[in-house]
Amino acid sequence: MQKISPCLWFDNNAEEATSFYTSIFKNSEIGNVTRYGKEGHEIHGKEEGTVMTVDFEIEGQKFLALNGGPIFKFNEAISFQIYCETQEEVDYYWEKLSEAGDEKAQQCGWLKDRYGVSWQVVPTVLIKMLQDKDRKKSESVMKALLQMRKLDISALKKVYEV
C-alpha cells in the first residue's frame, strides 16, 4: 500500500472524473468503488447505494476520489504536474485535460480541468533550462514562460540558445 495518497473531494461526480482521468493516461486503472449505506445519512445526506469513493491509479500514483458533497472546492493551491518529454506529449495532455475546463486559469503551463482540478503540463527540458547556472539563459526562459499559456518547447529553446 502506498504510504501517502491524495484524496480528491468531488461533489457527486467522483466516478465520472475518475473515468475521465483514466481515459487520458495510458498507464491507469480504476480500482475499488465503495458506496454509501444507510449509516450516517443524517450527516452525508447521500442516498444509499450511491458512490462514496473510487480508488484509481495514474502512472503508478494512487488516488482516492470522494463524493463528499458541495462543501469544499478545488483551488490552485494544489496541482498535479505532468512531466513531458516531447511537444506532442505536452499538446496531448493539454488538449485532453483542458477540454471544457476553465480557460481563464490557463497560464505558464497551468490549466484547470472541467472538475476544477489544477494541472501543470511541464516539458522536462524546461527544468534543465531554469536550473542553468547561466542566469541570463534561465531568466530569458522564465520571461518567455511567463508569456505562455500552453508551454512551447521550441520557443523556450529558442530564447535559451540565444
Angle of CA points 118, 119, 121, to nearest 5°: 155
Residue 63: strand pairing partners: 56
Does the predicted model carry a pTM greater than 0.75? yes
Distance of alpha carbon 139 from alpha carbon 161, whole angstroms: 12
Angle of CA points 45, 14, 56, to nearest 5°: 130
- Given 3.40.50.1820, 3.30.720.100, 3.40.50.2300, 3.40.50.1000, which CATH number is that of 7-67? 3.30.720.100
Q: What is the reported pLDDT for 10? A: 97
Distance of alpha carbon 145 from alpha carbon 147, whole angstroms: 5
CB–CB of 21/8 below 8 Å? Answer: no
pLDDT digits (tens, 9 = 90+) for 140-152: 999 999 999 999 9
Domain 79-160 annotated CATH 3.10.129.10:
no
For residue 73, the one-letter residue type is K
For residues 112-135, give the mean pLDDT.
Answer: 97
Place of cell 480504476: 30
The secondary structure element, H or E, covering residue 53 is strand 51-58
Fold agreement (7-67, 79-160): no
Domain range list for the chain: 7-67, 79-160
The proportion of the chain whose per-residue pLDDT surpasses 70, expressed as a percent, equals: 100
CB–CB of 95/110 below 8 Å? Answer: no
The SS3 assignment for 35 reads: strand
